[in-house]
A = this chain, B = another copy of it.
Amino acid sequence: MPTPVPQGLVPKTTDFADRIRANFKTQSAMTTFGIEMLDVVAGHTRLEMLANDRVLQQQGFVHGGVIAAAMDSACGYAALSLAAADREVLTIEYKVSFIAPAIGERYEFEGQVIKPGRTISFTEGTAFAINGGERKLVATLNASMAIVAAPDA
């Protein structure tokens, strides 16, 4: 496999999943896109978007920027799941590769921490289009995340 996923990632808080789910609801962009959070575990999250007509490009596929935004959020929350309670996560940069057209009944977006750090975490994201029983990889992302003091910490 291209990138080995670290085993035994240990969160610094016990309530990270609740805090992440609450934080996610404050991102109006995710609501606008119709994206919901499915899973949060230490170092990993999974989001879902049902097909909808607010997020398309000129050919009727999902706009690449929406796909990227979803993977970026998934990766940011994956990094946040391992951070201390008084930290927040800012995306420094990401690269996204568009592997296949994004056309499906629904979409899943996963974010995974590859290397957690005190000040920078490396993450990888994947996007899948799902039609019936088929789950097809449509895009990948890798992002470096800055772990910084939360403004209200």
Chain A residues proximal to chain B, CB less than 8 Å = 1-5, 23-24, 26-30, 32, 53-59, 63-66, 68-70, 72-73, 90-100, 110, 112, 114-115, 119-120, 122, 124-126, 137, 140, 142, 144, 146, 151
Contact = CB atoms under 8 A, between A and B. Distances in A.
Contact of A114 (B24, B57, B59, B99): B99
A142 B142 contact: yes
Given A114-B2, A120-B146, A54 B29 contact: yes
A56 B30 CA distance: 8
A1 B119 CA distance: 23
Give the residue among A56, A57, A68, A93 with the most B Cβ atoms within 10 A. Answer: A93
A133 to B, nearest CB: 16
